[in-house]
C-alpha cells in the first residue's frame, strides 16, 4: 500500500474519532512537504475546518496528536499555521522500497487484451531525400510517445505514412534520368536515400540555372519559372505517373526501393520501428472516393469548375479545398484516405499524429472532416504538435542540400562519444568491440536525451557538443550514473553479498535515503503524467533529478564500506532500484543504458 493511501485512511479515521463526522477522501489534501520544513508529507487542514469548527492551528495539532498515537507510520509531526507536516517512520520507507524492489516493471502497466487501441503516426518521410534532423526529432518523439502510452496500459499500433508520390518525387526521378548515367547505390557506394536526395538537389540547381538564363533574356522571375522546360517535364512526368505509364512507374518503383532500403538502415540505427507502413500512392484514391461519397451525402459542395470544397465557416474556419478542378487530390484528401484504410485495418479508439506545429490548422480541419465522415475517433484525434529543431548555425533547406543529414549526425555523435569517453579514460581496459558498443550507446543516448528533455511544443537548438557532456542534464551523465550503480552491484556480488527479497526493517535512514525512496515511488505517477500530457520530457527530467539525488547520496554515504551489515544491504537495494528505475525510464525514451562505462 502506498504511504499516501495509508496516511489518507488514517486522517479519515482521525477526523471521525475527533469530530464525529465522515470526511470524503477528496477533502484529504496531502502533498510533499516543502524543502524548508521538517517532514515528508503535509496535510492541508483548511478543507477540514467546517467539520472541526476550530482554528487551523488547533485542528492540525489535534489531528497530528491523534495520528502520532494511532498510526505507526508517523514518527513525528509539526504544525505551521494551517499545515500539518508529518514525518514518516523509517520502517515505512523500507517497506515501500521492498514493494518497489519486488516489482521488476514498477510504474509500468501491462495492457489488457481489451485495453483501448491507440494508433500513433510518426516519421512521414518523403521519398525524394534522406531523413534529416527534423525527422530525427519526429521519430524520437513518436517512438517515446508509443512506449509511454503502452506503459499506461494501452494497446499501441505504430504507423508511418510515406509520401511517395507528387511533383517533388518526380523532380528526383527526372534529374536521375537526365544526369544519372545509370548510377545506382551499388555502383556509387552511396545509401539509396542519399543518392536520390542528391538528384533532388541536382534538379533544383539545373532549374535555378534555367530560370536565371530566361531572366537574362528579359523575362520576369514568375514568367521564367512558368516557362522552365525542366519544370514542365517534371509536371508531364507526374501526369504520366498518375496515368500509370509503365516506364515512369518502373523508374519510380526502382528509385523508391533504393530509398526504403536507406530509410530502414537509419530507423535501425535510431532504434525506431513501425507495426504498419502506409503509402500515399495507395491511399490517395481512397481519399478521393471518400470525398465524393461526402459530396453525395451533401457534406461537401462542388464549384462550377468541378473542384470539391468543405464549408467550415459554421465551425469558425474557412472554405477548404478537397479535390482540385482536374480531379487531383490535395494533402487533406490523402489524409482522409489513409484514415479510411487504417480504420478498416484496426479498431482504433484514439489516433495520435506526430507532426510539426506548422500543420496545426491542417489537423484542426482534418478532425472536423473525419468527424463529419463518421470516423468515431475523428473528434478526439490528437495532433501531437512539436516545434522546429535547428542547429546553432540556423535553419536548414533540403532543396539546397543544407540540411543536417540523420546518418551523418548519428555518425558524428558516436564518433564524439568515442573521443570524449577516450579522453576521460572511460574506455580503458576494455575490448575494441565493447568500446565501439559503448560509443554507440553513449552517442545515441546523448542525441536522444538532448532532444527529448525539451518540451516538445518548443522550438529547440540542437547542440551536439553540449549534448555529449558527462556532467549536467545530459544522456551521458544519466548513463554514467547507471554504469556506476552496476559496478557497485558487481563488486557486491564478487564479495558474496546477496540482496534479500525483503530488507531488514530495523535500520535508521537518513533524510537523503528517505527522499530517494520517495522519488522512486513517484515514478508510477510520472509515467501517468507523461501519458496524460503526451510529454516525454517529464520522464527525461525525472531521470535526471533522480540520478542527481543519487550522486549526492553516493558522495555522502558509504555503501560497500558501510560496517552495519543491515544498512549495507539496504543501501545496495536502494542503489539497485535507482538503477532499475533509470533503466525503465530511459527505456521509455528509447535510450539504452550501458553496463559499464
Q: How far apart are CA 417 and CA 425, in angstroms?
A: 12
For residues 76 and 190, membership in a common domain is answered with: no
Better-predicted residue by pLDDT, 428 or 364? 364
Domain finish residue from 274, 289, 319: 274
**Rounded mean pLDDT, 37-57:** 93
> For residues 480 and 427, is the Cβ–Cβ distance under 8 A?
no
pLDDT of residue 391: 76
Domain finish residue from 73, 88, 103: 88
> For residues 470 and 424, is the Cβ–Cβ distance under 8 A?
yes
Report yes or no on 358 lying in a domain.
no
Total count of domains within the chain: 3
pLDDT tier, 1 (very low <50, low <70, confident <90, very high otherwise) = low
Show the cell assigned to 505: 526493517
Q: How far apart are CA 337 and CA 342, in angstroms?
A: 9
For residues 78 and 170, membership in a common domain is answered with: no
For residues 179 and 42, membership in a common domain is answered with: no
CATH of residue 32's domain is 3.30.1360.70
Report yes or no on 75 lying in a domain.
yes
Helix (H, G, I), strand (E, B) or coil at 402: coil
**Rounded mean pLDDT, 165-180:** 94
pLDDT tier, 399 (very low <50, low <70, confident <90, very high otherwise) = very low
For residues 43 and 177, membership in a common domain is answered with: no
Show the cell assigned to 466: 553540449
CA distance from start to end of the chain:
37
Q: How far apart are CA 478 and CA 542, in angstroms?
A: 11
Report yes or no on 155 lying in a domain.
no
Better-predicted residue by pLDDT, 464 or 210? 210
> For residues 391 and 461, is the Cβ–Cβ distance under 8 A?
yes
Nearest to 310 by CA among 253, 236, 273, 364: 364
CATH of residue 577's domain is 1.10.730.10
pLDDT of residue 421: 84
pLDDT of residue 561: 95
Nearest to 582 by CA among 542, 524, 553: 542
For residues 82 and 183, membership in a common domain is answered with: no
For residues 82 and 165, membership in a common domain is answered with: no
pLDDT tens-digit readout, 532-544: 999 999 999 999 9
> Domain range holding 38?
3-88
Using only C-alpha atoms, the chain has a radius of gyration, in whole angstroms, of 30
Q: How far apart are CA 451 and CA 431, in angstroms?
A: 30
pLDDT for residue 385 is more than 50: yes
For residues 435 and 575, membership in a common domain is answered with: yes
Q: How far apart are CA 442 and CA 422, in angstroms?
A: 12
pLDDT tier, 35 (very low <50, low <70, confident <90, very high otherwise) = confident
pLDDT tens-digit readout, 307-332: 999 999 999 999 999 998 887 788 89
Report yes or no on 239 lying in a domain.
yes
pLDDT for residue 400 is more than 60: no
Report yes or no on 456 lying in a domain.
yes
For residues 183 and 73, membership in a common domain is answered with: no
How many helices (H) and strands (E) the chain has is answered by: 22, 14
Domain finish residue from 237, 255, 274: 274
Q: Assign residue 81 a region: left if phi > 0, alpha if psi is -120 to 50, beta otherwise?
A: left
For residues 79 and 203, membership in a common domain is answered with: no
3-state helix, strand, coil in the chain (%, to 5): 55, 10, 30
- Lowest-pLDDT choice from 40-44, 212-216, 284-288, 494-498: 284-288
pLDDT for residue 395 is more than 60: no
**Rounded mean pLDDT, 364-380:** 92
pLDDT for residue 398 is more than 50: no
Report yes or no on 432 lying in a domain.
yes
Q: How far apart are CA 435 and CA 450, in angstroms?
A: 22
Helix (H, G, I), strand (E, B) or coil at 570: helix
Report yes or no on 289 lying in a domain.
no
Better-predicted residue by pLDDT, 408 or 150? 150
**Residue corresponding to grid cell 559503448:** 438
pLDDT for residue 520 is more than 80: yes
pLDDT tens-digit readout, 546-594: 999 999 999 999 999 999 999 999 999 999 999 999 999 999 999 999 9
What residues contact residue 5 under an 8 Å CB cut-off, 6+ apart?
none
> For residues 398 and 132, is the Cβ–Cβ distance under 8 A?
yes
Show the cell assigned to 472: 549536467
What residues contact residue 23 under an 8 Å CB cut-off, 6+ apart?
11, 12, 15, 16, 48, 51
Q: How far apart are CA 60 and CA 351, in angstroms?
A: 48
> For residues 526 and 542, is the Cβ–Cβ distance under 8 A?
yes
Helix (H, G, I), strand (E, B) or coil at 591: coil
For residues 195 and 61, membership in a common domain is answered with: no
pLDDT of residue 394: 54
pLDDT tens-digit readout, 329-343: 888 998 999 999 999
pLDDT of residue 506: 82
Report yes or no on 170 lying in a domain.
yes
For residues 168 and 71, membership in a common domain is answered with: no
Q: How far apart are CA 401 and CA 414, in angstroms?
A: 23
Q: How far apart are CA 590 and CA 581, in angstroms?
A: 14
> For residues 476 and 446, is the Cβ–Cβ distance under 8 A?
yes
Q: Assign residue 306 a region: left if phi > 0, alpha if psi is -120 to 50, beta otherwise?
A: left
Q: What is the mean pLDDT of the chain?
A: 93
pLDDT for residue 174 is more than 90: yes
For residues 182 and 33, membership in a common domain is answered with: no
Nearest to 503 by CA among 101, 88, 104, 107: 101
389 sits in which H/E element: strand 389-390
pLDDT of residue 325: 87
**In degrees rounded to 5, what are phi and psi of residue 390?**
-125, 170
Nearest to 343 by CA among 351, 352, 334, 355: 351
Amino acid at each position: 500500500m502506498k504511504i499516501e493511501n495509508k496516511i489518507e485512511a488514517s486522517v479519515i479515521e482521525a477526523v471521525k474519532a475527533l469530530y464525529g463526522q465522515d470526511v470524503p477522501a477528496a477533502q484529504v489534501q496531502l502533498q510533499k512537504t516543502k524543502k524548508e520544513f521538517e517532514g515528508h508529507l503535509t496535510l492541508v487542514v483548511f478543507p477540514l475546518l467546517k467539520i472541526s469548527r476550530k482554528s487551523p492551528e488547533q485542528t492540525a495539532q489535534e489531528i497530528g496528536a491523534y495520528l502520532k498515537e494511532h498510526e505507526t507510520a508517523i514518527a513525528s509531526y509539526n504544525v505551521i499555521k494551517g499545515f500539518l507536516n508529518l514525518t514518516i517512520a523509517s520502517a515505512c520507507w523500507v517497506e515501500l522500497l521492498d514493494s518497489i524492489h519486488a516489482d521488476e516493471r514498477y510504474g509500468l502497466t501491462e495492457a489488457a487484451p481489451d485495453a483501448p487501441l491507440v494508433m500513433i503516426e510518426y516519421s512521414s518521410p518523403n521519398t525524394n531525400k534522406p531523413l534529416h534532423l527534423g525527422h530525427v526529432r519526429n521519430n524520437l518523439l513518436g517512438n517515446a510517445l508509443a512506449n509511454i502510452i503502452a506503459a499506461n496500459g494501452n494497446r499501441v499500433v505504430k504507423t508511418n505514412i510515406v509520401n511517395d508520390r507528387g511533383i517533388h518525387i518526380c523532380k528526383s526521378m527526372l534529374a536521375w534520368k537526365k544526369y544519372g548515367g545509370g548510377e545506382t547505390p551499388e555502383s556509387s557506394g552511396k545509401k539509396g536515400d542519399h543518392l536520390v536526395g542528391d538528384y533532388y538537389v541536382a534538379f533544383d540547381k539545373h532549374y535555378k540555372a534555367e530560370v536565371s538564363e530566361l531572366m537574362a533574356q528579359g523575362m520576369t522571375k514568375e514568367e521564367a519559372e512558368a516557362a522552365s522546360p525542366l519544370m514542365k517535364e517534371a509536371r508531364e512526368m507526374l501526369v504520366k505517373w498518375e496515368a500509370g505509364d509503365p516506364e515512369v512507374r518502373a523508374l519510380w518503383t526502382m528509385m523508391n526501393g533504393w530509398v526504403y532500403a536507406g530509410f530502414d538502415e537509419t530507423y535501425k540505427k535510431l532504434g525506431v520501428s513501425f507495426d504498419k507502413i502506409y503509402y500515399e500512392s495507395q491511399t490517395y484514391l481512397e481519399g478521393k472516393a471518400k470525398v465524393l461519397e461526402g459530396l453525395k451525402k451533401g457534406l461537401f459542395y462542388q464549384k462550377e469548375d468541378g473542384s470539391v470544397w468543405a464549408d467550415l465557416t459554421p465551425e469558425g474556419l474557412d472554405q477548404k479545398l478537397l479535390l482540385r478542378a482536374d480531379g487531383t487530390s490535395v494533402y487533406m484528401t490523402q489524409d482522409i484516405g489513409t484514415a479510411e484504410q487504417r480504420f478498416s485495418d484496426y479498431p482504433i479508439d484514439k489516433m495520435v499524429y506526430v507532426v510539426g506545429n506548422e500543420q496545426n490548422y491542417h489537423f484542426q480541419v482534418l478532425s472536423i472532416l473525419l468527424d463529419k465522415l463518421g470516423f468515431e475517433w475523428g473528434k478526439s484525434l490528437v495532433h501531437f504538435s512539436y516545434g522546429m529543431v535547428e542547429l546553432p548555425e540556423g535553419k536548414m533547406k533540403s532543396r539546397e542540400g543544407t540540411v543536417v543529414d540523420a546518418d551523418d549526425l548519428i555518425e558524428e555523435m558516436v564518433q564524439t562519444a568515442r573521443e570524449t569517453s577516450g579522453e576521460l579514460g572511460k574506455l580503458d581496459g576494455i575490448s575494441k568491440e565493447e568500446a565501439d558498443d559503448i560509443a554507440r550507446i553513449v552517442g545515441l543516448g546523448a542525441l536522444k536525451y538532448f532532444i527529448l528533455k525539451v518540451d516538445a511544443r518548443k522550438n529547440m537548438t540542437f547542440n551536439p557538443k553540449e549534448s555529449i557532456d558527462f556532467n549536467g542534464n545530459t544522456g551521458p551523465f544519466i548513463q554514467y550514473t547507471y554504469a556506476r550503480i552496476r559496478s557497485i552491484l558487481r563488486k557486491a556480488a564478487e564479495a558474496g553479498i546477496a540482496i534479500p527479497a525483503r530488507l531488514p526493517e530495523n535500520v535508521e535512514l537518513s533524510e537523503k535515503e528517505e527522499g530517494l525512496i520517495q522519488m522512486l515511488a513517484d515514478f508510477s505517477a510520472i509515467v501517468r503524467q507523461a501519458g496524460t500530457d503526451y510529454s516525454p520530457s517529464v520522464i527525461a527530467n525525472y531521470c535526471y533529478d533522480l540520478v542527481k539525488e543519487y550522486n549526492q547520496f553516493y558522495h555522502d554515504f558509504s555503501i560497500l564500506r558501510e560496517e552495519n551489515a543491515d544498512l549495507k544491504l539496504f543501501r545496495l537495494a536502494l542503489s539497485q532500484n535507482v538503477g532499475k528505475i533509470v533503466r525503465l525510464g530511459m527505456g521509455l525514451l528509447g535510450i539504452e543504458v550501458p553496463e559499464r562505462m
